[in-house]
Amino acid sequence: MSGQDIEIESEDGNFSGYLSVPASGSGPGVLVLQEIFGVNPAMRSIADWLAAAGFTALCPDLFWRIEPGIQLSSEDDAGLKRAFELFGLFNHNTGLRDIQTSLATLRQLDACTGKAGAIGYCLGGLLAYRTACHTDSDASVGYYGVSIADRIGEAAGLSRPLILHIAGDDEFVPPEAQNRMHAGLGSNPLVTLYDYPGQHHAFARPDGDHYDAASAGLANQRTLVFLRQHLA
């Protein structure tokens, strides 16, 4: 397993991504979609975790159009403030375009065996949902995605499987929004919703205040089974 920054070419300019490859040298592709803190150590560690599990993981810098190479900490006030500023400045349409470009780049790598999916957290959890609805991702997973309830109609574009992990006490996704997600997506055969009662936003981020090893372990186990099933 090895990790390195690579360059991703797009029509609008080039941007970076963190690539982590399994010890075997190749595996199914997984795009890692960042939180609001950029391609920081937490996101890189997720890519490395996926590589250790046999996947070729690429985490693209989706904030490159605003401030390339940003790496913020969720643990300091200045980093948190800047992260929310970047979240407000982020353009979801160009972001989706960059995700599709990154998926194509990932599939073309010698280290990718062909199929490629996506996994995302927080902002990336919303983007994983939108990736499932609007791109050719073979399978997608969203952890505590924000604002999904406001975009239920986009699920009309779903053609491949999707998992959404929902934190029961998510301060950014209130119960009413969770109810709308279940009402709008629960009967879709392509969607699996997993609820984690009592868990807060970012319960699967190891360096976060709300990290819960048991719930994170369960969600991650479900994720790996799902990705192996659909990307192998």
Alpha carbons 106 and 113: distance in angstroms, whole number: 10
Q: What are phi and psi of 26, to 5 degrees?
A: -160, 160
Alpha carbons 113 and 211: distance in angstroms, whole number: 33
β strands within 122-186, DSSP E: 140-143, 162-167
Q: Which residues are catalytic?
A: 170, 201
Do 6 and 109 contact (CB within 8 A), yes or no? Answer: no
DSSP state of 13: -
Those residues whose C-beta lies under 8 Å from the C-beta of residue 122, and which sit 6 or more positions away, are 35, 36, 143, 144, 145, 146, 172, 201, 202
The enclosing H or E element of 57 equals: strand 56-60
Dihedral angle, C-alpha 65, 35, 18, 53, nearest 10 °: -150
